[in-house]
Amino acid sequence: MTSTTITPERVESDAPEATQKGQSVPRKEDRRLVQGEGVFIDDVKRHGMGYIHFVRSPYAHAHITSIDVSKAEALPGVYGTLTGEEVASLTEPFFQLAKAPASNLQDYALAVGKVRYVGESIVAVVAETRELARDASELVEIEYDPIAPIVDARMAQGDAPVLHDEAGTNVMWEGSFEWGDLDAAFAEADKVIKIDELHFHRFNSTPLETDGALAEYNRGTGQWTVHCNNQFPGFAAIMMGPALRCGLDKLRFVTQDIGGGFGNKITTHPQLVVCCLLARKLRRPVQWTEWRTDFHMSMSHANERWFLDTEVAVKNDGTLLGFRTKALDDTGAWLRYEPLGCIIWSQVAPGMYRWRNIRVDFTQVATNKAPCSPNRGYSRMQHLWFTERVIDIVAHELDLDPVEVRKLNYVRSDEMPYETPNGCVYDSGDYARMLDIGLELVDYANIDARRADAKARGKLLGLGIGSTLDSGTNNFAQSQLINSDLQFSGNNEVATVKLDIFGEIVVTLGTVPQGQGHETPTSQVVSDILGCSVDDVQVRAGHDSYWNSHAGFSGTYASQFAVTGLGAVKGAADMLASQIKRLGSAVLGAPIEALELAEGSVRIKDNPEVALPFMACGAIINANNAGLPDDLEDVTLNCRYVYKPSFQVPDLERNFGNLTLTYATQIHVAVIEVDPETGYYDIVDYAAVDDCGKRINPRIVEGQVMGATALALGAATWEIYAYDEDGNLLTPNFYDYHVPHALDMPPLKTADIESPSPFTPLGTKGMGEGGGAGIHAICAAVQDALRGNGDAIVSDSHNPYHKVWELLEHPAEAGGHVSVVNA
Amino acid sequence: MNVSGERTFAAPRTAVWKVLNDPAAMAKTMPGVQSFDVHDAARWTANVKIPLGLGGLKMQIDMNKTEEREPEFAKLQIKGKGVGAMLNMETSFELSDADGGTAMKWAAEVKLAGPVGSMGQRVLQPIVNQQVEHVLSALDREVQAAVAGGS
């Protein structure tokens, strides 16, 4: 039995015999965070700095006919402005990942000549206070000539107004994916289920901290220092360097504490470029902290997606043979990370199921809405929701038990590692066992009795299941599947571990933690390797590109820290351990094999009293190194390791290859009770079962599961970015965009299994993006509750109470349209 | 947002037409008009403060009569801009004789952009309906005053 104590100054674990890995060590960073001593971007101040406010478009689509900043600039206290015309002369358009014609987009940091969504930045105003900058922005006079907007992706083609004349079309990417033998699958089928339309709505994750930056320009060196909360500086750098016409050595990115990212904070490069230009133009540091409404209006929504004309080939017993669908993705006005979403989904092409025959015709279009970019579960969430929806609709139409259909079709544990039809490899897992655990947690055995009890109380009880395959550690070569000219592949991450002069163990990470608690599992891994306590390991907070502990893909995104981040940490710690032993061998006069690292020293295993403390090791190498043997010349006790997973470039002709390294899993089971009079529903029971391989810190994993569940329940019931026909965002603030808080959350029951990944250094899998499971669990529970009460088909991922009422009152009109054809 | 309706005035069509085309008279019907400038017979500008509950919305509104068939039909293009809102409206009215008075069919397509537009129809529709009712009642008073003044 392991117990853990917390003192005011130190976090200690009294588990000397056990490894620190696998222990719920309290998070080291929480002490400063709960005491209000964290350093977030708005805490970074500089003498004489100016505050930025962005003037944003009130129109979804309009030509800008004139801009006059003279009145704003004349206001006392205003330091200056920046317009799109200036940006166009001072920078290059951002590099586009898309192939032609979308590669022709002229994307600048501020709108040039035209606005394409409500909230698009047009002018930046800098003043001595944030409030003055905001007031001054109202003096900027802009004339517009409105154009008809496109707000429905289904209407974006044909005669629709074109957002980007340079592209000549609103289609940003299109392509077909086909694996297996569709004709044979449909020939073998007993039934074909046809689903006209499924819709995954537009929403987002909500970080506590909005985006922001403080930019400084050193005129002597020509270097910018960008204190920011961007979560993927590697990506920001390759976008910003060419745009600013400078080498990446001129861009220093610094972060410390970040109040949540969820992918949203990957694509802040346009705003960061504005900050850089203004810092140079005004010869003073400039600070930008995004207003919450601006975040809602303009910052990287999650992709909205339709699945049209879906056909599913099934046997009478529910065996899934294949499906084909037309995916239509709404990416908003710009391609800030897109069209990568057009391929990311295929990491989980068959979902958790043994589908071998799949065809997806994928089209991504631009609309007059905020640009999309990664959001927790990026692109896979939409597709996994689709596969789960198909399962329940098949079960509904064939009058089968959704539980049994799942179990019949799940990829089995004895098939792991499992190669999907498109060449991805599911590394490990036991989906059926996880489902059983989830069902047991919600007392599925007595569900009929509970249904009857609810009915007696005038309520409709429904049970729903959802699942997420949380694919982590991208093979960036998948980008070549959407544009073969791109030269990205593989993945990497960096860590340094050093033993300093007085024996301090100091770790720097290339990752960019946003609340995940990287400092703690890092310390656990290092302490196990170096034989010291967790508290002896000092992990630098945040990220700084001056540390030289970063590589091209450094950042924290796409469920990979436990693999890439900790893989780098392990590699660097192993190197350091080796060097300490070599030094110990020379000093103690013992062979390396006879040494061990324990209790903060290198010592002889059979005679532990003969030991060289780390303090002595650090001092010898760093400050007292005369007379050391020549063969220790390379011993620096300062070890840098680049972790690179083993990947190949996919077969571009067949769209075939391994796109990601690990597959964590979450299965959620929801039980709801619907009031048939109003459509209001309560979640009366909820279970989330997680499998992320080897867990380094179970409590942190648990927190991720809970957070992902909150994301899911918010999206399922309340959170939507709704636009009116003119392109006005109708939910630009917390009044209309309700994010669940503690009181909205049902009691959660959680459980886990561990299926260590055979492909990663620690058996871990990246995790944290399991929210999609909950979105579908609610959809399925609603549909189950409506069984026998109109039998509506739930065809939308967003089901607020009024929508459920519509499904009850008008099942044919409000629900999805499905037909069954005997094959 | 599309709004439309019908109103009957106890006045001859020429009297109603005259009021509808008299900027000074129309200014009195509009909510929160603070100043009114007539550029020519077809173009007017009004500075208004529209009561929206939270301190009001100041706007400069430019009206341009784009079509006219005296004394039965006119169409106006209206553009407004202010802090927090941009207004684009196309409105038309059609007059006909009815039971000794005048019937007016009117319709307007209102487009609001900016933060006020984000409030959405569910919030704005009742406000618009209320303001339209105020305008029509004021218009009725102006018509009656014009009739009384002219008789």
pLDDT per position as a tens digit, A134-174: 999 999 999 999 999 999 999 999 999 999 999 999 999 99
CB contact under 8 A, A730 and B86: no
In chain B, which residue's Cα lies nearest the Cα of A731?
A: B118
Decide if B85 and A58 are in contact by the 8 Å CB cutoff.
yes
Radius of gyration of chain A (CA): 28
Q: Do A146 and B85 touch (CB under 8 A)?
A: no
| pLDDT greater than 60 at residue A15 | no
CA distance A238 to A341: 19
Across the interface, of B86, B111, B120, the residue whose CB is closest to A730 is B120
Q: Which residues of B touch A732 (CB under 8 A)?
A: 115, 118
Q: Report the range of poorest mean pLDDT among A359-373, A804-818, B18-32.
A: B18-32
Give A34: exposed, middle or buried? Use CB within 10 Å, 0-12, 13-18, 19+.
exposed
Third-level CATH fold of A492-643: Aldehyde Oxidoreductase; domain 4 (3.30.365)
Among A59, A146, A732, select the one facing B118 at the smallest CB separation.
A732
pLDDT for position A10: 34
A148 touches chain B (CB under 8 A): no
Contacts of A53 in chain B (CB under 8 A): none
Q: Which residue of B has its CA nearest to A735?
A: B119
Q: Is A732 on the interface with B (CB under 8 A)?
A: yes
Chain B partners within 8 Å of A726 (Cβ): 111-113, 117
Please name the residues in contact with A104: beta carbons below 8 A apart, sequence gap of 6 or more: A96, A164, A166, A167
Which of B88, B113, B119 is closest, CB to CB, to A118? B113
Q: What distance in Å separates residue A728's CA from the closest CA in chain B?
A: 5
Q: Which residue in A59, A144, A729 is closest to B118 by CB distance?
A: A729
Residue given tokens 């972790």 in the structure block: A643
**How far is Cα A333 from Cα A56, in angstroms, rounded to an integer?**
14
Per-window interface: A 420-479 vs B, CB < 8 A:
none
Longest dimension (CA), chain B: 48
pLDDT in tens, B41-73: 889 998 988 776 656 778 899 999 999 999 999
Residue B82: its chain A contacts at CB < 8 A? none
Nearest to B118 among A138, A146, A728 (CB): A728
CA–CA separation, B83 vs A511, rounded Å? Answer: 42
Residue A717 has pLDDT above 60, yes or no: yes
Give the one of B114, B119, B121 whose C-beta lies nearest to A58's C-beta: B114
- The backbone torsions φ and ψ at residue A552, rounded to the nearest 5 degrees and listed phi first, read -60, -30
Q: Does A726 touch chain B (CB under 8 A)?
A: yes
What is the least distance, in Å, from the CA of B124 to any CA of chain A? 12
A146–B88 CB contact, under 8 Å? yes
Residue B22: what pLDDT?
A: 86
In angstroms, rounded to a whole number, what is the distance separating the alpha carbons of residues A539 and A560?
18
- pLDDT for A707 beyond 90: yes
Residue A711 to chain B, least CA–CA distance (Å): 24
Give me the residues paired with residue A505 across strands. Answer: A499, A537
- At B36, the pLDDT band (50, 70, 90 cuts) reads confident
Name the pLDDT band for B150 (thresholds 50, 70, 90): low
Q: What is the pLDDT of residues A39-70, one digit of tens each?
A: 999 999 999 999 999 999 999 999 999 999 99
CB-based contact (8 Å) between A118 and chain B? yes
Of B83, B88, B113, nearest to A728 by CB-CB distance is B113
Residues of A in contact with B85 (CB under 8 A): 58
Give the residue on B whose Cα is nearest the Cα of A730: B118
- Please, what's the largest Cα pairwise distance for chain A? 88
pLDDT at residue A13, rounded to an integer: 40
pLDDT at position A321 is 98
pLDDT band at B122 (very low <50, low <70, confident <90, very high): low
Average pLDDT over residues A364-379: 96
Q: Which of A728, A733, A737 to mutate to test the interface with B (most CBs of B within 10 A)?
A: A728
Nearest alpha-carbon partner for A771 in A467, A484, A522, A491: A467
- Note whether B115 contacts A732, CB cutoff 8 Å: yes
Task: Between A724 and B150, name the one with better pLDDT.
Answer: A724
Q: Which residues of B touch A (CB under 8 A)?
A: 83, 85-86, 88, 111-115, 117-121
Q: What is the DSSP letter of A700?
A: H
DSSP letters spanning A280-334: HHHTS-EEEE--HHHHHHHS-BPPEEEEEEEEEEE-TT--EEEEEEEEEEE--S-
Q: Which residue does chain A place closest to B122, by CA atoms?
A: A730
Given a cut of 80, is residue A690 above it in pLDDT?
yes
What's the rounded Cα separation, in Å, for the pair A728 and A719? 16
Pick from A16-25, A31-40, A192-201, A318-327: least confident: A16-25
Lowest mean pLDDT among A257-266, B6-15, B35-44: B35-44
State yes or no: pLDDT of A11 exceeds 70: no
Specify the amino acid at residue B87.
Answer: L
- Min Cα–Cα distance to chain A from B120, Å: 6
Query: Do B113 and A726 count as a contact with CB atoms less than 8 A apart?
Result: yes
Q: Please say if the pLDDT value at position B112 is more than 50.
A: yes
Using an 8 Å CB-CB cutoff, list chain A residues near B118: 118, 728-732
Residues in chain B within 8 Å Cβ distance of A146: 88, 111, 113
What one-letter code names the amino acid at B71?
P
Q: Test A59 with B113 for CB contact under 8 angstroms.
A: yes
pLDDT tens-digit readout, A373-401: 999 999 999 999 999 999 999 999 999 99
Rounded average pLDDT over A256-285? 97
Q: Which residue do the tokens 């341009």 mark?
A: B64
Spatial separation of the C-alpha atoms in residues A246 and A282, rounded to whole Å: 19
| Contacts with B128 from chain A: Cβ below 8 Å | none
What's the pLDDT score for residue A9?
A: 36
Residue written as token pair 């205003």 = A78
Using an 8 Å CB-CB cutoff, list chain A residues near B115.
Answer: 58, 293, 732
Residue showing tokens 């029509």: B136
**Upper half-sphere CA count for residue A14 (Cβ side, 13 Å):** 6
- Which uninterrupted H or E stretch holds A86? helix A84-90
Q: Do A58 and B83 touch (CB under 8 A)?
A: no
> In chain A, what are the domain boundaries?
492-643
Q: Is the peptide bond before A339 cis (omega within 30 degrees of 0)?
A: yes
Supply the pLDDT for residue B149. Answer: 78
Q: Region A642-669: what's the mean pLDDT?
A: 97
Q: How confident is the model at residue A311 (pLDDT cuts 50, 70, 90)?
A: very high
* Residues of chain B with C-beta less than 8 angstroms from the C-beta of A138: 83
Q: Tell me, what's the pLDDT at B55?
A: 67
- Residues from chain B that touch A736, judged by Cβ atoms under 8 A, are 120
- pLDDT given for residue B85 in this prediction: 82
In single-letter form, the type of residue at position A813 comes to E
How big is the A-B interface in CB pairs under 8 Å? 39
Q: For residue B111, what pLDDT band results from cuts at 50, 70 and 90?
A: confident
Mean residue pLDDT of chain A comes to 95
The answer to whether B15 and B150 have CB atoms below 8 angstroms apart is yes
Whether A6 contacts chain B with CB within 8 A:
no
* Sign of CA pseudo-dihedral A115, A116, A118, A124: negative
Strands A357-365 and A601-604: unpaired
Contact check, Cβ <8 Å, A138/B88: no
| Beta bridge mates, A320 | A314
Q: Which of A58, A138, A731 faces B113 most closely, judged by CB atoms? A: A58
**A730 in contact with B at a CB cutoff of 8 Å?**
yes
How far does Cα A601 stand from its chain's mean position? 40
Asked if A729 reaches chain B (Cβ–Cβ under 8 Å), the answer is: yes
Find chain B residues with C-beta within 8 A of A58's C-beta: 85-86, 113-115, 117
- A726 closest CB neighbour out of B85, B117, B119: B117
Q: What is the DSSP letter of B33?
A: E
pLDDT score, position B121: 66
pLDDT at A458 exceeding the cut of 90: yes
- pLDDT for A178-232, tens place per residue? 999 999 999 999 999 999 999 999 999 999 999 999 999 999 999 999 999 999 9
Residue of B nearest to A142 (CA): B81
Question: Is A724–B121 a contact, with Cβ atoms under 8 angstroms apart?
Answer: yes
